[in-house]
Amino acid sequence: MENEEKKVVYSAIQPSGAFTLGNYFGAMKNWAQMQEDYDCLFCIADLHAITVQQVPAELRRRTYESMAMLMALGIDPEKSILYVQSQVPEHTELTWILNCFTYMGELSRMTQYKEKSHKQGKNIRVGLFDYPVLMAADILLYQTNLVPVGSDQKQHVELARDIANRFNTTFSDTFVLPEPYFGKTGKRIMSLQEPEKKMSKSDLNPNGFVALLEDPDVMIRKFKRAVTDSEMHVAYDPKNKPGVSNLMEIYNCTTGLSLDDIEKEFEGKGYGDFKIRVGESVVETIKPIQTEYQKLMKDKKQLESIMQKNAQKASHLAQRTLRKARRKTGFVN
């Protein structure tokens, strides 16, 4: 990258379904803003997506859609490296090397593995168990300084640090030890129906999440149905009023108003008015993104050209680190 003094930021998202408000306000909105101050790499993590069974044609389609959506959200492939993970084979090679510096106990303690393994029953896939090592390789390949994460992903960055430190101690300094980066607002948007749980595109209740490509009327309807409480008083209190507090966080993200200003705006007004206004502010925010996305999806050749160009950029950077790791491990380059 051009400016070596800038810190390197790395983040990835799976092409595994509709991106939600939680994805946008929790991560992707910050990504666009970070491009001016950091050397950024943004990865469409299709290798991570196959830890659960995928329909091949749908995975390919969602990869194109993810590329178009990230660009519509403000990721500029001329300023940042926006690439598809499976098109950079250095990720999988470094994963194998790092596997040999990772302990079974570390992986078995990973929260997401414990949660997701129950869904796969007795036939748990090795990929589900081992994907945190692939995630560590993703991060360490690019000498990453900062990894934008929600609080639920901090554990993965800590594992990457542990593996890197173990490798560095065994040989010599090879990998930068990454740090988690937390956005100032919107780092954890909750379900509209179960505000104690994080908003997720895999939610079985479609009213719990808002997808970025949904029809505006559907978005408004979901906010009207959002769970609140019986007090009818707009106030920020995550413990006792999680539903209202979540809606206030969303409104803060769309308008920039402080939580105090939001309380003043809706003082003396009912939840009905509040929920409709939050929904309208989301529609106003998302509409230009939807328009740009539709424009980009009409030119798949352009998307393929961007994928190829950025995969080459990513591979060039990754090779620098991989050659060091191979040599120190004892492989002949």
Catalytic positions, please?
116, 198, 201
Tell me phi and psi for residue 298, to 5 degrees.
-80, -10
Beta-ladder partners of 9: 40, 146
Element containing residue 326 per DSSP (H, E): helix 300-329
Please check whether residue 236 is in contact with residue 259, taking contact to mean a CB–CB distance below 8 angstroms.
yes
DSSP 8-state secondary structure symbol assigned to residue 3 = -
SS3 318: helix
- Between CA 83 and CA 306 the distance in angstroms is 8
Please check whether residue 237 is in contact with residue 216, taking contact to mean a CB–CB distance below 8 angstroms.
no
- Between CA 303 and CA 72 the distance in angstroms is 12
Could you tell me how far CA 110 lies from the centroid of its own chain? 18
SS3 214: coil
In the block, tokens 């594992």 appear at 159
Per residue, what are the HEC states of 94-134?
A: HHHHHHCCCCHHHHHCCHHHHHHHHHHCCCCCHHHHHHHHH
Q: Six-digit token pair at 151?
A: 């609080």
- Between CA 315 and CA 309 the distance in angstroms is 10
